């Protein structure tokens, strides 16, 4: 009766949260990357308050003759109807050639919600006014760009969720079915889907928006939330010969603590993302943590309730998968010094190359590059001469003529006692942003002025780059510290606390080598890679070490390691494959930022598994030989 009640309550709550999920708010732009407490962003908001920030929409008109009466009449009709749209300012016709003209539409607001509504109204006007025969009209500009990005986010979320679910079905069919049989092989997927539904439904309740950063968390959770159920159900199958209820109780007792420790290490690392200084990354870590906590609760309550109705018994098999793992273990046993030497080389080389990996700080490049609005926006910049504009805001009487001697001063604006000076320049990368910013600041200081600040898009992008660099270092160090303290408290041994961290550190170094070799740049999502590796990958090493010390009490080193793989190799392999598949679903996204993060995380999780069954045994053998009892 109790089991039926649990199933009913979990199902009803899922239904309610499905309705709640429809209220998820989509956000984009700077506020997802920069906190209002950030000094640079605060200065930009101060500037925006005093000086009118405007957006623009552009229409590309292409025809055999854009100066014909029909095309010009079409423009006049469009202009007339756009004047009735709120916040639409000037509408200008810019002739570039006989066959090409641009309509520039000034939007007199920077409010995200209003801009989305304006974009929809402009689209309605374009759909309503009949086009002359042969005229091609295309939309671009920041207004349409962000509108299309939001639509693409919704589409991409559906694609990656479907891909993640299908990958889970495939992996469970190929690997887990041999453990539990076909009747209950997909129960872990049910736990995962319920966890994601709960997270999605809780987002509007907790005020967590869907952004370019957070939209990748849900397909990832499909893979992450399977792990605990796989561990629980595997132990249940081992003990089922004792009876259903006894097997459930044993599985809950024996795996509950191990799963909880796994949850704790993951949540600690994901929570560290909130120290990055980037709101979107904080939300990303919160969603992952929330999903794992829900999966943990469902694994210990809902899953046993389902299993209580189990009437099937199946002998566990899976020797082929264990045989594959034994190949790696035999390598580490026979070539332990070589394995550790290679690991050290990879680690050192990774540390050296980590400083050579570039950063992608222009968040416009995080969006799908084949979006029509973005493709045309890039074309517009080529035509009009795309520039990056620094804005000097001051209450002092800075004579801009001095600045014209060194910089390209575009214009000057006034608001009360404040003056803003706009300096345009062409920038290519992060170093250009920093160098130009320092040149402007140094020159103004040289002129003797003190009451000023510099803002604008390049300054904001520069700040995003700084947060990426410092944020990655900060969250990595916090992860290491928290995990080491946790392991030290559990094992009461420095050696045992450090051993699981060694293969993880090697994987981090290897990923730096991979990124440098492929010419990949860090993005806002990839800087979380280290915390993901530490938080998730360390579980495989912990499981290896835990079982090794248990077997070591009864057998010699070699036999203890081999028995460890025989007992837990299959479980950690299924866990790693499902987790990796969850991340790989991001590669089906149209967002470059998600694609690269999905690829890197997929490779990293597989490397964590390989490191756990090669580096860990090799290190244990060497330390046993050296008799490093002083570290205990």
Residue 247 domain-assigned (yes or no): yes
pTM of the full predicted structure? 0.79
pLDDT by residue (tens digit) across 49-61?
Answer: 888 777 788 888 8
Closest by CA to 394, choosing from 411, 415, 409, is 415
List C-alpha distances in Å: 475 to 247, 278, 287, 420, 503: 40, 12, 17, 37, 19
Q: How many CB atoms lie within 10 A of CB 430?
A: 21
358, 431 contact by CB (below 8 A): no
| pLDDT 10s digits, 377-401 | 777 777 766 567 889 998 888 777 8
CATH number of the domain that 549 lies in? 1.20.1640.10
Q: What is the CATH number of the domain that holds 76?
A: 3.30.70.600
Q: Is 5 exposed, middle or buried (0-12, 13-18, 19+ CB in 10 A)?
A: exposed
CA 500 to chain centre: 25
β-pairing verdict for 55-62 and 136-140: antiparallel
If pLDDT is split at 50, 70 and 90, which confidence band does 178 have? low
> For residue 400, how many other CB atoms are within 10 A of its CB?
15
In the sheet with 452-455, reading across from the earlier edge strand, the strands are 408-415, 418-425, 388-394, 452-455
For residue 85, what are the domain limits? Answer: 33-140
Last residue of a domain, one of 461, 493, 508: 461
Shared-domain flag, residues 237 and 179: yes
539 plus 621 within the same structural domain:
yes
pLDDT value of residue 258: 72
Q: Does the residue 18 lie in any domain?
A: no
- Domain end residue (candidates: 416, 445, 461): 461
Among 461, 493, 516, give the residue marking a domain's end: 461
Does the residue 196 lie in any domain? yes
Same domain (yes/no): 187, 306: yes
Domain check: are 208 and 339 in the same one? yes
Measured CA to CA, the distance from residue 431 to residue 433 in angstroms comes to 5
Same domain, 278 and 318: yes
Number of structural domains in the chain = 3
Output the pLDDT for position 386: 57
Please give the Cα distance from 163 to 592 (Å, whole number): 17
Which pLDDT tens digit goes with each residue over 469-488?
788 788 888 888 888 888 88
How many Cβ atoms are within 10 Å of 534's Cβ, its own excluded? 28
pLDDT score for 628: 46
Which positions ≥6 away from 277 have C-beta within 8 Å?
Answer: 35, 38, 467, 470, 471
Same domain, 348 and 413: no
């Amino acid at each position: 009766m109790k089991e039926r009640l649990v199933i009913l309550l979990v199902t009803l709550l899922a239904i309610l949260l499905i309705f709640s999920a429809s209220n998820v708010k989509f956000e984009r732009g700077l506020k997802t990357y920069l906190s209002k407490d950030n000094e640079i962003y605060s200065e930009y908001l101060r500037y925006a308050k005093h000086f009118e920030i405007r957006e623009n929409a552009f229409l590309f008109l292409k025809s055999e003759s854009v100066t014909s009466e029909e095309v010009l009449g079409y423009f006049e009709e469009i202009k007339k109807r756009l004047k009735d749209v709120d916040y639409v300012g000037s509408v200008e016709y810019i002739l570039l050639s006989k066959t090409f003209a641009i309509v520039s539409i000034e939007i007199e607001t920077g409010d995200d919600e209003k801009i989305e509504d304006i974009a929809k109204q402009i689209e309605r006007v374009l759909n309503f006014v009949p086009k002359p025969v042969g005229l091609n009209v295309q939309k671009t500009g920041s207004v349409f760009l962000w509108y299309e990005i939001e639509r693409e986010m919704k589409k991409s979320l559906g694609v990656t969720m479907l891909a993640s679910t299908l990958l889970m079905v495939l992996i469970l069919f190929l690997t887990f079915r041999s453990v539990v049989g076909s009747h209950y092989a997909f129960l872990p997927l049910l736990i995962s889907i319920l966890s994601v539904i709960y997270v999605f439904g809780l987002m509007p309740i907790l005020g967590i928006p869907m952004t370019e950063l957070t939209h990748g968390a849900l397909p990832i959770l499909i893979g992450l939330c399977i792990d605990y159920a796989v561990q629980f159900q595997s132990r249940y199958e081992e003990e089922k010969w004792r009876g259903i209820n006894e097997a459930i109780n044993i599985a809950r007792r024996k795996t509950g603590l191990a799963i909880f420790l796994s949850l704790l290490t993951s949540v600690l690392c994901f929570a560290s993302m909130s120290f990055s200084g980037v709101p979107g990354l904080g939300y990303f870590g919160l969603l992952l943590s929330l999903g794992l906590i829900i999966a943990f609760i469902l694994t210990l309550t809902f899953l046993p309730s389902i299993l209580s109705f189990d009437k099937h018994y199946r002998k566990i098999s899976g020797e082929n998968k264990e045989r594959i793992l034994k190949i790696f273990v035999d390598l580490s046993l026979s070539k332990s010094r070589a394995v550790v030497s290679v690991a050290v080389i990879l680690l050192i080389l990774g540390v050296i190359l980590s400083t050579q990996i570039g950063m992608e700080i222009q968040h416009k490049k995080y969006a799908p590059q084949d979006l029509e609005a973005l493709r045309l926006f890039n074309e517009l910049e080529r035509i009009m001469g795309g520039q990056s504009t620094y804005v000097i805001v001051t209450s002092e009487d800075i004579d801009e003529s001095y600045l014209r001697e060194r910089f390209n001063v575009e214009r000057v604006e006034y608001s009360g006692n404040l003056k803003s000076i706009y300096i345009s320049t062409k920038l290519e990368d992060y170093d250009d942003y920093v160098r130009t910013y320092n040149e402007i600041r140094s020159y103004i200081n040289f002129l003797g002025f003190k009451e000023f600040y510099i803002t604008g898009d390049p300054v904001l992008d520069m700040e995003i780059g700084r947060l990426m660099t410092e944020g990655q270092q900060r969250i990595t160090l916090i992860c290491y510290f928290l995990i080491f303290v946790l392991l030290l408290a559990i094992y009461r041994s420095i050696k045992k606390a450090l051993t699981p961290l060694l293969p993880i550190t090697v994987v981090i170094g290897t990923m730096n080598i991979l990124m440098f070799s492929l010419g990949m740049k860090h993005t806002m999502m990839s800087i979380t890679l280290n915390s993901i590796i530490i938080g998730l990958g360390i579980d495989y090493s912990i499981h290896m070490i835990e079982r090794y010390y248990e077997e070591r009490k009864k057998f010699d080193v070699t036999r203890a390691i081999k028995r460890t793989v025989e007992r837990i190799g299959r479980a950690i392999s299924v866990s790693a494959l499902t987790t990796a598949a969850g991340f790989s679903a991001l590669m089906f996204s149209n967002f470059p930022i998600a694609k690269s993060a999905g690829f890197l995380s997929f490779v990293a999780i597989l490397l964590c598994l390989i490191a756990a069954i090669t580096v860990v045994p090799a290190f244990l053998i060497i330390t046993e030989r050296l008799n490093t009892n002083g570290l205990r």
